[in-house]
Structure 1
Amino acid sequence: MGFTKRASFSTYYQKDKKLEQVLGVRDFLALGVGTIISTSIFTLPGIVAAEYAGPAVVFSFLLAAIVAGLVAFAYAEMSTVMPFAGSAYSWISVLFGEGFGWIAGWALLAEYFIAVAFVGSGFSATFQNLLGQLNFHMPAALASPFGTKGGIVDLISLLVIAVSSFVVWRGASDAGRVGQILVVLKVAAILVFIFVGLTVIKAHNYVPFIPAHNPKTGFGGVSGILSGVSMIFLAYIGFDSIAANSAEAKNPKRTMPIGILGSLLIAVVLFSAVTLVLVGMHPYSSYAGNAAPVSWALEKAGFGTLSVVVSVVADAGMFVALLGMVLAGSRLLYAFGRDGMLPAKVGNLDKRGLPSNGLLVLTVVAIVIGAFFPFAFLAQLISAGTLVAFIFVSLGMFALRPREGKDLPDASYKMPFYPILPALGAIGSVIVFEMLDPAAKLGAFIWFILGIIVYTLYGSKHGKIKKQ
């Protein structure tokens, strides 16, 4: 059966050699850090503190990081053995078969479509907040998605997604260079916020550090911390975008582990520091419903000019995240077309050796989603697809290790404490998935039903894996 027919390592390797190998360690660190530290760091700490965990929101970030870190070890090893476009989709196709690979890839496709739209919407919200500080306001019809606050289309979201796609269209190396510059600015702004915020911290804002649990609202206690994990988890999905571009790495056996694990480590440190400073500056309850807590906290503390600067840099950071997500999503669509799971034109490379058709498909779909669907709706859906892929990759380690050095290359990086860590990664991902909002799980279920239909009607009949 095509569903369990495993893909050929050599065929993938030869096909993806047509892609330019231009990305180095700095490019991957920039794209990884830029993708992870994007919309989430400027929005989620205050909201989760106010609605779920209080000052203990830092524990929510750390628990989410532990689960993501367990999976990141597996990603790092797999990407050195199989430096293919499409990351989890291609890996699972080699390890378990065409159908399983399609399910993992279809889950990731949802992540990229929604994540690009989500970050585009976040960019628009922050940019409009900045314009408001300068006494300029967008017309209602062009300021919000259809049916939201009198809006017809979110014009800024539409434009920023289109511009990011244009930068990626120029080539992965251009996107990498732009990412490096903007990530340096963003990290610098975050460090400035941390050091400035430390000067106005009030110790009583940390008391009690873990507020008592309220059964009626779900706020506080251990359950509040755990509820925060499911909302925060989307902050750590960015390292998958590094793996998705591994076919364009100059030296994947070195660059991939450093890029994946390095960017995650940097993100954890910055997330934790920003969170602790934020809840120390003002009472956590004051951040309720605040979509721009970092800028707000600075303004209320008397640093108005710095607040404006941070808003500008926040948007720059979100643009880097868009570059990473657009790069990764277009490469996944290319992989689908490469294998015949979607029409072959999606997998065609242009004269420069770039998957422009996949990029066009991603751009159009993301623009429609980001310009016409509300930010809050997108936020509920973004983690589900990623977690499914994380489960597959964690379990895939049990199929990968026995084949290394035999029909697959030896790994230049080995996941430690095998088989314990991959098992914990899979279990942790399942637990976080179970903690997602019911609407997010329903959305994921509908998306997978659609994926099964697409596979049955098209992919199973046109897939090239079974012909190898």
Structure 2
Amino acid sequence: MTSRTDDGLEGFGYRQQLDRSIGGFASFAAGISYISILTGTFQLFYFGWGSGGPAYVWSWPLVFLGQLMVALCFAELAGRYPVAGSVYNWAKRLGSATVSWMAGWTMLTASVVTIAAVALAYQITLPQIWSGFQVYGDGTGTYDSAANAVVLGGVLILFTTVVNAFGVRLMTRINSAGVVIELVAAVLLVVLLAVNLTNPPDLLLDTQGTGQGVPGGYLGAFLVAALASGYVMYGFDTASSLGEETRDPRRTAPRAILRAITASFVLGGGILVLGILAAPDPSDPALGSGTGGLQAIVLQSLGSGVGKAFLVSIVVAITVCCLAVHTAAIRVAFAMARDNNLPASRALARVHPRFRAPVVPAVVIGVLALAILLVNVRQPQIFTVVTSIAVAMIYIAYLLVTVPMLRARLRGDWPPPGAGWFSLGRWGLPVNVVAVLWGAAMATNLLWPRAAVYNATAPYHWYLRWGGVIAVAAILGGGLLLYRGYQRKRTGVLEAHRLAPEPDGLAGA
């Protein structure tokens, strides 16, 4: 019997340093708060409705099925390798060193951009609760909303930075409490919307003429509208990225991944369907506007008092979502840094002796997210560009795991010998194939340079319409040059994190 507890670290040559204090619910909460059904559904409902009408809601089950295939692959990996920076370390196990580094780099940069994108969601909800939250201008100026979004989002990012700097225990307490509030609010909202229905079920098939004049007709419009669902249902791998801080992670992480995405689908779908059917006036143009959306339906159908109470719960959901994204980004940075795979790796990989968490990455990532946020000041349309870039990068990072995993299956190298706590068995190959095809299709759909996504209204700029392609190409190309030209020569587990050999006589004890 070995003297060590193998929780996935020994196979990578790491020793345990982080605070292993996360339980089953906190692990589930980390995954579901990253997905954040209230944040995503309320933040992007207006975009889906405006692009595809009420019928856009059918993209929700489509996205769920595709992402479930990815989640099943990840659950299998999490049952064997529940380690920090999950995507980065999984790619290392399945692919080459270059593929692993690119997976980590892509996930890290995407997570930093996602923090900024989530923080911008405060602007969509807070001013509808109280006009005093519109601290910049009165909301009618060309740049009032964009600038105010930076102010509100900046406060949120400062909060998540401070919380994460104090370690995982504080983060999980706040996150778990926020998730409880979010789940209770989501269930209550489903019930209240269900008793306030005003529209027939066939409204769910209404396109409101959104396919007219669009290349491909309504299919083209639906592909754009489907991004509203695609923007939401990801981040479930966070449960495994916190694996080194989770008790019994080989059992806990796979369950947390699958429970998070399933609960998000059920509750989020209920809110969307019942919200559409409860809309007092489906022809109201505000439903397709960032100043109205699902928030307007809740306020109109449930009344101002009850409606604003639910909007407060949405603010809580946005807060813990941003916190979870920041937490996940820190773990990716830490995982890469302890392999000496980032500039200033020793500082980024240092674990605070009291908080038992990497503090420097929390601060650096917070500063970078604030810098990205500032781009929003005089660009009212930049939100969609920033969100699309972030989500597309995450889909690409997922592909850098599912593609090598598929190659390993075809070669007969996966699953490796020995039992994992979760296995797809004979379904592994077809699930993996669908996961790869789905990821490639969604990444293409996200990056396609359509004006409807990247530059829907004036002023029209070529760099906005091509913003997704340009930014992703620059991030991937720049990352590859950084690694191949400089970083790969330095790669190797830092001594402070290297697993020390067992004393003589203990190895086989």
Please give the TM-score of this superposition, normalised by the length of structure 2: 0.82
8 Å CA contact retained: 2:79, 2:422:
yes
**What is the CA–CA distance in structure 2 between the aligned matches of 1:335 and 1:302, rounded to whole Å?**
46
Contact conserved, 1:205 with 1:281, CA < 8 A, in 2?
Answer: no
Q: Quick one: distance in 2 between partners of 1:396 and 1:76?
A: 16
Residues 1:201 and 2:187 are matched in the alignment? no
1:385 corresponds in structure 2 to 393
- Post-superposition offset of 1:215: 4.3
Distance 1:420 1:279, change over 3 A: same
Q: 2:371 aligns with which of 368, 371, 385?
A: 368
Partner residue of 2:502? none
- Other-structure match for 2:468: 440
User: Are 2:161 and 1:165 equivalent residues in the alignment?
Assistant: yes
Structure 1 match to 2:507: none
Question: Structure 2 residue aligned with 1:464, among 483, 492, 500?
Answer: 492
- Call closer, same or farther: CA 1:83–1:208 in 2, change over 3 Å: closer
Counterpart-to-counterpart distance in 2, 1:280 and 1:321: 27
Aligned AA (1:336): M
Distance 1:403 1:190 in 2: 39
Matched letter for residue 415 of structure 1: L
Conserved in 2, the CA contact under 8 Å of 1:229 and 1:432? no
**Is the contact made by 2:117 and 2:386 (CA closer than 8 Å) also made in structure 1?**
yes
Does the Cα contact within 8 Å between 1:22 and 1:248 map onto a contact in 2? yes
Distance 1:101 1:285, change over 3 A: farther
Query: Does residue 335 in structure 1 map to residue 335 in structure 2?
Result: yes
Residues 58, 455 of structure 1: alpha-carbon distance in 2 compared, 3 angstrom cutoff: same
- Residue number in structure 2 paired with 1:180: 176
C-alpha deviations, 1:106-160, integer Å up to 9, x for none?
A: 111122101111111112442233231xx5640349x99x966683982221121
Given that 1:84 and 1:245 are in contact with CA atoms closer than 8 Å, whether structure 2 keeps it comes out as yes
Residue identity matched to 1:383:
V
Q: CA deviation at 1:315?
A: 0.8
Question: Does the CA contact (< 8 Å) of 1:186 and 1:317 recur in 2?
Answer: yes
Matches within 5 A, 1:140-289: 140=137, 151=147, 154-204=150-200, 206-207=202-203, 209-211=205-207, 214-217=211-214, 221-282=218-279, 283-286=281-284, 287-289=287-289
> What letter corresponds to residue 270 of structure 2 in structure 1?
A
**Percent identity, aligned pairs only?**
18
Give 1:4's aligned residue.
Answer: none
Structure 1 residues 22-41: Cα deviation after superposition (integer angstroms, max 9, x where no partner): 11210011122222124212
CA distance in 2, matches of 1:153, 1:226: 27
2:251 partner amino acid: R
The separation in 2 between residues aligned to 1:95 and 1:372, in whole angstroms, is 37
Residue 108, structure 1, aligned to residue 107, structure 2: yes
What is the number of equivalent residue pairs in this alignment? 454
Equivalent residue for 1:41? Answer: 41
Aligned equivalent of 1:414, options 411, 423, 445: 423
The 3 A distance-change label for structure 1 pair 411 and 233 is same
Query: How many Å separate the matches in 2 of 1:403 and 1:302?
Result: 52
Please tell me whether residue 349 in structure 1 is matched to residue 351 in structure 2: yes
* 225-234 vs 80-89, greater mean Cα deviation: 225-234
Rounded to whole Å, the distance in 2 between the matches of 1:107 and 1:382 is: 10
Q: Name structure 1 gaps, 5 residues minimum.
A: 1-8
Q: Quote the offset at 1:444 in angstroms.
A: 1.2
Q: Is the 8 A contact 1:155 1:371 kept in 2?
A: no
* Separation in structure 2 between the aligned mates of residue 281 and residue 275 of structure 1, nearest angstrom: 10
Instruction: For 1:195 and 1:325, locate their aligned partners in 2 and report how far apart those are by CA, in whole Å.
Output: 29
CA contact (8 A) 2:137 2:144 kept: no
The 2-side partners of 1:167 and 1:13 are apart by 29
CA RMSD of aligned residues (A): 2.9
Equivalence for 2:68 = 69
Q: Which residue of 2 aligns with 1:299?
A: 299
Q: Distance in 1 between matches of 2:151 and 2:223?
A: 36
The 1:79/1:16 distance shift into structure 2, 3 A limit, reads farther
Corresponding residue of 1:323: 323
| TM-score of the superposed pair, with normalisation by structure 1 | 0.89
Query: SS at the partner of 1:351?
Result: coil
Farther off after superposition, 160-169 or 226-235? 226-235
Q: Aligned partners of 2:478 and 2:415: how far apart in 1? A: 34
How far off its partner does 1:464 sit?
A: 1.3
**Per the alignment, do residues 285 and 390 of structure 1 end up closer, same or farther by CA in structure 2, a change over 3 Å counting?**
farther
The residue that corresponds to 1:359 in the other structure is 362
Query: Deviation per CA, 1:293-322, whole angstroms, max 9, x where unpaired?
Result: 333112222510012111211110111111
User: Matched residues in 1 for 2:439 and 2:45: separation?
Assistant: 21
| 2: CA distance, partners of 1:260 / 1:10 | 20
Offset at residue 85 of structure 1 (A): 0.9
In structure 2, stretches of 5+ residues that fail to align are: 1-7, 377-381, 450-466, 499-509
- 1:59 is aligned to 2:51: no
Query: Are 1:186 and 1:314, in contact at CA under 8 Å, matched by a contact in 2?
Result: yes
Asked if structure 1 preserves the Cα contact closer than 8 Å seen for 2:135 and 2:148, the reply is: no
Deviations 1:202-237 (A, max 9, x none): 234733715367241369744433332234212011
Q: Residues 254 and 208 (structure 1 numbering): CA distance in 2 closer, same or farther, change over 3 Å?
A: closer
Tell me, yes or no, if structure 1 residue 452 matches structure 2 residue 480. Answer: yes
CA distance in structure 1 between the partners assigned to 2:44 and 2:25 by the alignment: 27
Contact 2:134 2:148 in 1 (8 A): no
Name the SS of the counterpart of 1:82 in structure 2: coil
Residues 213, 50 of structure 1: CA spacing in aligned structure 2 closer, same or farther, 3 A cutoff? closer
User: Is contact 2:114-2:391 (8 Å) kept?
Assistant: no
Please tell me whether the aligned partners of residues 9 and 83 of structure 2 are also in contact (alpha carbons under 8 angstroms).
Answer: no
**Residue 113 of structure 2 aligns to which amino acid in structure 1?**
I
Cα offsets for 1:59-109 (capped at 9, x unmatched) = 101111111110001111111211211111111112212110111111111
Q: AA paired with 1:106?
A: W
Deviation at 1:190?
Answer: 2.0
1:269, 1:22 → 2: CA distance? 29
Q: Determine helix, strand or coil for the equivalent of 1:203.
A: coil
